[in-house]
Amino acid sequence: MRWKRGSSSRDVIDLRGRSGRAGGRGMAMPVGGGLGLAGVVVFLLLQVLGGGGAGGAAFDVPTGFDEALQAPGGEALPPGQDPDRDLRDFSVYVFNDAQAMWQQTFEAQARPYERAKLVLYRGGVDTAGCGSASSAVGPFYCPADRRVYLDLSFYRDMESQLGASGDFAWAYVIAHEMGHHVQQQLGTSDEVNALQRDDPGRANDLSVRLELQADCYAGVWARSVFEEGALEAGDVDEAFGAAEAVGDDRLQRQAGRGVDPDSFTHGSSAQRRRWFDRGRQGGEPAACDTFSADAV
């Protein structure tokens, strides 16, 4: 993907210099323990790329944290001392590019749009509405504080543990999380949460449809990158590889389990690729109505 360094950091909160802590409190481990990506793929099955039906991790909120996270944006590490400077700058560029596209889309439809924030952390982080998480959770979006959370080490984990490599594979991850922000802005996430409470038997199916819609929204952004002339050879294949790598069926096999479609929360590899591609081909949010489709 062609990109330019120097993208604005006004929506970025860089906490990487805080040793995995935000607000000075000890990190609360996710439900089931802070299991590393290398050790347990099962944990990723529930948490990677959005974490459940709400698009964020559901953990208890640390008391008094809301004020602590309101740190100024900007770089926590001096550029000359940042080993992940290139990845950091690329991540910020993708986040800003996706945000700009969605803001323009909302404005064209005369809809209000509240800008998301990008939080970069290392090891663990506290959120202002979704509790605490370790890097084992993977990238996630917290609808309560409208923030995308990234531990940049997951870029290397994608390649070594999930077999998904390349800059556009990483861009797909960020665009998927921004898809959850779009769902939050449109009220889709709240509607799904209410339906899940009213009909627990449909909870998994609704979660899958929500996640596949976020994949489709990522594809809509990918189409905008193509129209800008910024796609390079192999980029789409990298995104396909990432989408397939985090399919529920593949993660269950990697964890040594049998494939159980009834337990899916994000969709199969084929479904995730298909809906990303549907958004890429359609280029419009209207192509991403996973909830009206009889089958996804």
DSSP code of residue 199 = -
The parent domain of residue 67 ranges over 12-288
Q: What is the chain's pLDDT, residue by residue, as a tens digit (296 residues)?
A: 989 887 888 999 999 987 544 333 333 333 222 222 223 333 343 344 444 434 443 222 222 223 233 334 444 567 778 889 999 999 999 999 999 999 999 999 999 999 999 999 999 999 988 999 988 888 999 999 999 999 999 999 999 989 999 999 999 999 999 999 999 999 999 999 999 999 999 999 999 999 999 999 999 999 999 999 999 999 999 999 999 999 999 999 988 989 999 999 999 999 999 999 999 999 999 999 999 988 88
| Contact between residue 240 and residue 273 where contact means Cβ atoms under 8 Å apart | yes
Does residue 7 belong to any structural domain of this protein?
A: no
Does residue 125 belong to any structural domain of this protein?
A: yes
Q: How far is CA 192 from the centre of its chain?
A: 18
The vertex-253 CA angle with 249 and 259, nearest 5°, equals 50
Provide the token pair at 215.
Answer: 């994949």
Does residue 4 belong to any structural domain of this protein?
A: no
Does residue 274 belong to any structural domain of this protein?
A: yes
| Contact between residue 176 and residue 10 where contact means Cβ atoms under 8 Å apart | no
Does residue 107 belong to any structural domain of this protein?
A: yes
> Does pTM top 0.85 for this prediction?
no
DSSP code of residue 286 = G
Does residue 67 belong to any structural domain of this protein?
A: yes
Scanning 21-166, the segments in alpha helix (DSSP H) are 41-47, 65-68, 85-108, 154-162
Main-chain phi, psi angles of 211, to 5 degrees: -70, -40
Neighbour tally for 257: CB within 10 Å: 13
Does residue 36 belong to any structural domain of this protein?
A: yes
Domain tally for the chain?
Answer: 1
Does residue 196 belong to any structural domain of this protein?
A: yes
Provide the token pair at 158.
Answer: 């994608």
Can you give the C-alpha Rg of the chain in angstroms?
A: 18
